[in-house]
Amino acid sequence: MREHGEVSDRADSGGPWWRDAVVYQVYPRSFQDSDGDGEGDLRGIAARLEHVRQLGADAIWLSPVYPSPMADGGYDVADYEQVDPRFGTLADADALIAAAHERGLRLLMDVVPCHTSIEHPWFAEHPERYVWSPRDDGPPNNWIASFGGPAWSRDPRTGRWYLHSFYPEQPDLDWRRQDVRDAVAGALRFWLARGVDGFRLDAVDHLLKDSQLRDDPPASAPPVLPEHADAERLEQIHSRNAPDIGGALAALREAAGDTLLAGEVYLPWRQLAPYLAHVDCAFAFELLHAPWEAAAIRAAIAAALQDDSSGEQVAWVLSNHDFPRLPDRVGARNARAAAMLSLTLPGAVFVYQGDELGMADGPGGDPPHDRAGRDRHRHPMRWDDDLPHGDFTVSEAQPWLPAIAVAGGGVAQQRTDPDSILHLYRDLIALRRTLGAGLTFLGEDEGVADGVLAYRRGDEHLVALNLGDEPRPAPSAGRVLRRTHAARTPAGLAAPVQLLPGEGFLAMI
């Protein structure tokens, strides 16, 4: 049986624990190095759990720690039921799970069900588990991989052509086969038996493709969510998101039981119903990619909440290991407002490590580790400016990516500054527990100026954010619970009548 320590399976409201939960994403290679090899590891994560607890998060999500050749940063899995030696051992994983539970934190594993590494033993020993071209002379269709180029490559050992929705080192599994469903379901059960509390499911919109392998037609309009330029040329109606996706997801649901399944489904929210019938929540990528404009942000939020204002099946995300960090995407001036936005929405919110410091992108690796250019989003966590490498690793080690400085300082420095963005995250996470149910937008007839996003949470709380480039009048409100810049209006004072660009407040109505 799993031991949860202080962790309860239900939220205080009586619903599932993930309702309105804050999940902290850990990119293990960049969180904390415990052995001086320049790469983060499981023991390092365990040593830094107190930071996550003090932040107020409910759970941590680990990006993959399985054995991997690292062609795709660990998302090319060579063994679903082991730990890569660079990260530690299964015993270290067990110790991390126990340490998280002792602090009241749940732990989610990242599962990559669409594909494996080409170095997974299955590719040679069970080739029938993968998707192959029925032709001997090449690809059967025009499908494009997510990172660009053809989605088919020739296996030099057999001469056959295999499908890869991502890199050529990541052959796609055939999820219409029962043995594939059983094998991946078995991996979920393996980790559940070790005490994990749920899973983030990677790229599940690519799990099933057209059984007839038909061509994708030319695109008639730009995609709602950004794609690689090659992929944007086609309407991806056959290469992903097959209509019978429910059968594959049902196998994962059965294996997971009542533990959390959070789906990475890279589709517009209106297309997620078949996925939400089986997963507990899905990422709202329209918000992540929305321009930093009040109308666009409002539309993205409304799209995800149109059928359920409680947001119970929404997982909000504004940055992660695949996309530019907040200061680079919305502007450094707006990073605090972005934090207030995400942490006051109804539903679960995922916070990427370093966001709570206002961490920006770095230069990446030289030479690069990731061919798609995502190294710059994955630089090591900044713990203490007074120590070499920001205390990510020992002084004589060379971090796998440079340990870049953060404008507001590391954790140690921001901890002592009550107006730091770290304190903003802590305060907002504590306050979100008190917010009323649902979300109601305010309009111009309620005193909301152009460029300002304002909404009520329940009957008592108001959030107002200036997303524009000029000072704007603030909507009428009572006393402030938290302003993006605490020193300008301390908690308990009357709400300001004007908001500067990048400012906002959470106040009583």
Whether residue 281 sits in one domain with residue 396: yes
Over range 76-86, report the average pLDDT: 98
* Given the residues 84, 264, 427, 503, the one annotated as active site: 264
Whether residue 407 sits in one domain with residue 307: yes
Answer whether residue 101 shows pLDDT above 50: yes
Pairwise CA distance, residues 427 & 84, whole Å? 36
Whether residue 372 sits in one domain with residue 297: yes
- Contact at 8 Å (CB) between 187 and 196? no
- Chain centroid to Cα 333, Å, comes to 23
Asked if residue 191 is part of any domain, the answer here is: yes
Q: Token digits for 440?
A: 């109601």
Total domain count, the chain: 2
Answer whether residue 428 shows pLDDT above 50: yes
Over range 169-188, report the average pLDDT: 98
Whether residue 457 sits in one domain with residue 409: no
- DSSP-derived letter for residue 496 is P
Over range 197-201, report the average pLDDT: 98
Report CA torsion sign: 250, 252, 255, 259.
negative
Whether residue 361 sits in one domain with residue 338: yes
Per-residue pLDDT, 4 = 37
Whether residue 389 sits in one domain with residue 293: yes
Answer whether residue 155 shows pLDDT above 60: yes
- Contact at 8 Å (CB) between 335 and 367? no
Over range 154-171, report the average pLDDT: 97
Per-residue pLDDT, 9 = 52
> Would you tell me how many other CB atoms lie within 10 Å of the CB of residue 233?
13
Q: Which domain holds residue 491?
A: 440-508
Pairwise CA distance, residues 167 & 145, whole Å? 7
Asked if residue 190 is part of any domain, the answer here is: yes
* Domain final residue pick, 391, 415, 432: 432
* Domain final residue pick, 432, 462, 480: 432
Asked if residue 491 is part of any domain, the answer here is: yes
Q: What are phi and psi of 132, to 5 degrees?
A: -120, 150
Whether residue 477 sits in one domain with residue 382: no
Whether residue 184 sits in one domain with residue 39: yes
Per-residue pLDDT, 296 = 97
Pairwise CA distance, residues 318 & 491, whole Å? 26
Per-residue pLDDT, 444 = 87
Pairwise CA distance, residues 298 & 453, whole Å? 7
Whether residue 277 sits in one domain with residue 316: yes
**Residue 265, Cβ density class (10 Å: 0-12 exposed, 13-18 middle, ≥19 buried):** buried
Nearest to 485 by CA among 339, 320, 292, 305: 339
Answer whether residue 163 shows pLDDT above 90: yes
Whether residue 75 sits in one domain with residue 29: yes
Asked if residue 360 is part of any domain, the answer here is: yes
Q: Tokens 């204002």 identify what position?
A: 309
Answer whether residue 398 shows pLDDT above 80: yes
Average pLDDT over the chain, rounded to whole? 96
Nearest to 221 by CA among 205, 211, 232: 232
CATH no. for residue 107?
3.20.20.80
In the annotation, is 264 catalytic? yes
Pairwise CA distance, residues 101 & 236, whole Å? 42
Asked if residue 215 is part of any domain, the answer here is: no
Pairwise CA distance, residues 174 & 391, whole Å? 44
In the annotation, is 235 catalytic? no
Asked if residue 195 is part of any domain, the answer here is: yes
Nearest to 289 by CA among 354, 365, 222, 376: 222
Asked if residue 349 is part of any domain, the answer here is: yes
* Domain final residue pick, 411, 432, 453: 432
**Residue 173 vs residues 116, 130, 133, 185, 428: alpha-carbon distances, Å:** 7, 4, 13, 13, 41
Model confidence over 239-293: pLDDT tens digits? Answer: 999 999 999 999 999 999 999 999 999 999 999 999 999 999 999 999 999 999 9
Asked if residue 9 is part of any domain, the answer here is: no
Per-residue pLDDT, 308 = 84
Whether residue 414 sits in one domain with residue 475: no
* Given the residues 202, 286, 370, 427, the one annotated as active site: 202
How far does the chain reach from its first CA to its final CA, in angstroms?
46
Q: Token digits for 326?
A: 């907040």
Cβ-count burial 189-204 (b if 16+ within 10 Å, e if not): ebbbebbbbbbbbbbb
- Contact at 8 Å (CB) between 405 and 394? no
- Contact at 8 Å (CB) between 49 and 99? yes
Per-residue pLDDT, 10 = 43
- Contact at 8 Å (CB) between 210 and 143? no
CATH no. for residue 458?
2.60.40.1180
E-strand ranges in 339-439 read 348-352
Per-residue pLDDT, 13 = 53
Answer whether residue 412 shows pLDDT above 80: yes
SS3 181: helix
Whether residue 382 sits in one domain with residue 270: yes
Answer whether residue 8 shows pLDDT above 90: no
Q: Are strands 440-441 and 348-352 parallel, antiparallel or unpaired?
A: unpaired
Q: Are strands 440-441 and 314-317 parallel, antiparallel or unpaired?
A: unpaired
Q: Tokens 């989610």 identify what position?
A: 108
Model confidence over 376-396: pLDDT tens digits? Answer: 999 999 999 999 999 999 999
Answer whether residue 15 shows pLDDT above 90: no
